[in-house]
Amino acid sequence: MKVRSFWPPLVMLTCGLLVLILLAAPPRKPPRGPHEEPLLPRQDVLRLVGRGYIQLMADYFWIQLVQATGRAWDAAEYRDIFPYANLITDLDPQFRMVYGFAAGVIPTNLGRETWVNTRESTQLLRKGLKLFPDDLKMNMLLAYNLSTYEHQYQEAAEVTAHAAKLPGAPSYLSALATRLYAQSGQVDAGLALAQSLADSAEDATTRETFLQRVRDLEMERELRRVDTAIAEFRDTFGTVPPDIRTLSWLGYLREPPHDPKGGGFFIGNDGRAYSFTQQRRLEVFTPDNRGVNFLAPMEQ
């Protein structure tokens, strides 16, 4: 009986690992000079020299990614995480953890809500969601990126609405989706979602929560109609109208606005419409837009 030697496979494995280490060793940072992105081997080269050990190589680069994350200090170094994550998920697309981890740490705040590296984060999330469309964490991160960094509120609302249906989803996601629809101008879409959630609610408390959101969205729809009339008045006269009644008298409002809560409307100090019964607009609050009017006239 011929005994097969174990040396050839061992030698091949050793040589493959040696080549991998030489190719993939993390670059040393120069003491001076501009920042340089890590020089990683191409995916096709790795597949050629490491055929049969692809997952092992992906694990190796995962370790390098974690180390790069620990070393990162500024925006450029946090961006270095992206090429590692992109290469790992090219080698092993099923390495699910990489997408959410890297996408969460790459964005960097330069101060005063000036964010960088956000496109790379979103790119990784979209890449991961093609394979794992029902991953709750990745859906929530993508919705956050779209709303906070890219201001794509309609897509953020759609992603949030999908995430709200996934197992383990936080209860606030459904309400957040309706707010994002309102922010994007798709108030009717938000209304349809809120009404369907109210109709399918399993208890009275949840049903009342979404019925309240229906009323909020109906209010927001009226306020946006008044906002349009205010903008048309401003374009004509170069100033904001003194009150809502002026808009009706001059024909900018075909019908007087209706407050579903029974109150009246006024024009806030920011030149937008508000209700006496709810001085907050149904919007996503940002540092530049808090969706609230602080100077309301006395109700007549």
Six token digits for residue 84: 């590692």
- 214 vs 50, which has greater pLDDT? 214
Backbone angles phi, psi at 112, to 5 degrees: 55, 40
* pLDDT attached to residue 215: 87
pLDDT 10s digits, 53-103:
888 889 999 999 999 999 988 999 999 999 999 999 999 999 999 999 999
CA distance 248 to 267: 13
**By C-alpha distance, which of 68, 153, 58 is closest to 98?**
58
* pLDDT attached to residue 19: 55
- Confidence label for 10 from pLDDT (cuts 50, 70 and 90): low
- 130 vs 15, which has greater pLDDT? 130
Q: Is the pLDDT of residue 292 over 80?
A: no
Q: Which residues contact 4 (CB under 8 A, 6 or more apart)?
A: none
Q: Helix (H, G, I), strand (E, B), or coil: what is residue 280?
A: strand
Lowest-confidence region among 25-29, 172-176, 177-181, 243-247: 25-29
The DSSP letter of residue 278 is B
How large a percentage of the chain has pLDDT more than 70? Answer: 83
- Confidence label for 20 from pLDDT (cuts 50, 70 and 90): low
**By C-alpha distance, which of 95, 98, 70, 97 is closest to 82?**
98
- 262 vs 180, which has greater pLDDT? 180
Helix (H) or strand (E) holding 97: helix 96-105
CA distance 212 to 209: 5
- Confidence label for 32 from pLDDT (cuts 50, 70 and 90): very low
Read off the pLDDT of each residue in 31-40 and give the average, rounded to a whole number: 69
CB-based contact 182:190 (threshold 8 Å): yes
Helix (H) or strand (E) holding 116: strand 115-116
Read off the pLDDT of each residue in 143-153 and give the average, rounded to a whole number: 92
Q: Which residues contact 160 (CB under 8 A, 6 or more apart)?
A: 139, 140, 143, 173, 176, 177, 180
CA distance 283 to 89: 36
CA distances from 40 to 23, 45, 80, 88, 214 (A): 7, 10, 11, 11, 52
CA distance 142 to 151: 12
pLDDT 10s digits, 194-251:
888 888 777 788 788 888 888 888 888 999 999 999 999 999 999 999 999 999 999 9
Q: Helix (H, G, I), strand (E, B), or coil: what is residue 23?
A: helix
Predicted TM-score (pTM) of the model is 0.72
Computed over every residue of the chain, the mean pLDDT equals 83
Read off the pLDDT of each residue in 261-286 and give the average, rounded to a whole number: 82
